[in-house]
Structure 1
């Protein structure tokens, strides 16, 4: 699967991490905080995007290996 993701500077990444931590301190779960901040970044980001490829086959191979080990 391919996905275009916002290319963030180190500062932007740090700001996102800080925002996630702040939301968690206010009682939000980590998953909710990450999803919220990611959605905000996608909605507001006007800079470059990077192409990311997720290889789903590797995941299936790892699951098969784990099952064989059990």
Structure 2
């Protein structure tokens, strides 16, 4: 299944964040979900930057080149 995106979500994400600050309501996504999504992107960026597979240590949060 494919879904066309009409944007990258940045504007709606920022709007939701600002609305939550003003209203003190919960955001659209739980903080843990956002953390896991961003962590996956950071790991992928590390692999791209190194030009190699990487290993993520969940205990320390470190990323290193896989052997």
Give the TM-score taking structure 2 as reference length.
0.35
Q: Which has the higher contact order (CA 8 A, sep 6+)?
A: 1
Q: Which has the higher helix share?
A: 1
TM-score (norm 1): 0.34
